[in-house]
Amino acid sequence: MRSVILTTRTPAIVVNFKTYPEASGPNALVIAKLCAEVAFETGASIVIAPPAMDLAIVAASVRIPVYAQHLDSVPSGSTTGHVTVENAKASGAAGTLINHSERRLKIAEIHELIDRCRMARLSTIVCTNNLAVSKACAAMEPDFVAIEPPELIGGDISVTTANPKIVSDTVRSIKQISKDVAVLCGAGVKNGGDVAKALELGTDGVLLASGVVKAQDKRAVLLDLVSGLRR
């Protein structure tokens, strides 16, 4: 069965699997199913982004939104080795990350991808690293802008603690540009307290990776993160 809950509700917890061994191949499916179980048990909105090689089987196996980690702004056809919007859609994706700090794109590519995804009815989360880029991307009207200061990604201190001002400033600036663009924050998010603080700062959720993927007790971490949606 392909992913059937295609709409990403907010507030949302978006879990990027990256290409960690703990979340690749058979492990990707294990974590995906765990995320789906917690989502249905708690009613929380959890979105997952597995590695490209695992996207189709994950999307066919869970009933929560499954996003691509990256797409290329090229057409389908004679584009060997690229991952296209059409590939993602056919594989059961509900959306995609765009411009992650580990896969930066040019502004023109971001704009083209947002347009292509809109036509294909794929949701878009555009990752940004500062206020200026956030404002520029918000003007393109993706579904989400996710502010992630790169120096905090993968660290032990959440952006909500290390630099809460960039989060609140991003939310305020983006809402002035378009009330339809939701805002996420990421980098160092690890627990329910971080999630609760993100919502207090005005965001519509969080984007994280290692906090879940590399955790010893992933279920406990997910439940703790979800608890932050209700504090």
What pLDDT shows up at residue 155?
65
Count of beta carbons in the 10 Å neighbourhood of residue 205: 29
Q: What's the pLDDT tens digit per position in 24-54?
A: 999 999 999 999 999 999 999 999 999 999 9
CATH number at residue 195: 3.20.20.70
Q: Is the dihedral of CA 183, 103, 56, 116 positive or negative?
A: positive
Catalytic residue of the set 37, 82, 86, 148? 148
What pLDDT shows up at residue 148?
84
- Return d(Cα 136, Cα 79) in angstroms, integer: 28
Domain that holds residue 42: 12-227
Whether 1 is in a domain gets the answer no
Asked if 167 and 160 count as a contact pair (C-beta separation under 8 A), the reply is: yes
Our count of domains for the chain comes to 1
Is 100 annotated as catalytic? yes
- Return d(Cα 153, Cα 95) in angstroms, integer: 22
Whether 38 is in a domain gets the answer yes
Q: What's the pLDDT tens digit per position in 132-180?
A: 999 999 999 999 999 987 676 666 667 777 778 889 999 999 999 999 9
Asked if 54 and 25 count as a contact pair (C-beta separation under 8 A), the reply is: yes
Whether 3 is in a domain gets the answer no
Whether 173 is in a domain gets the answer yes
Is 82 annotated as catalytic? no
Whether 28 is in a domain gets the answer yes
Catalytic residue of the set 41, 100, 109, 111? 100
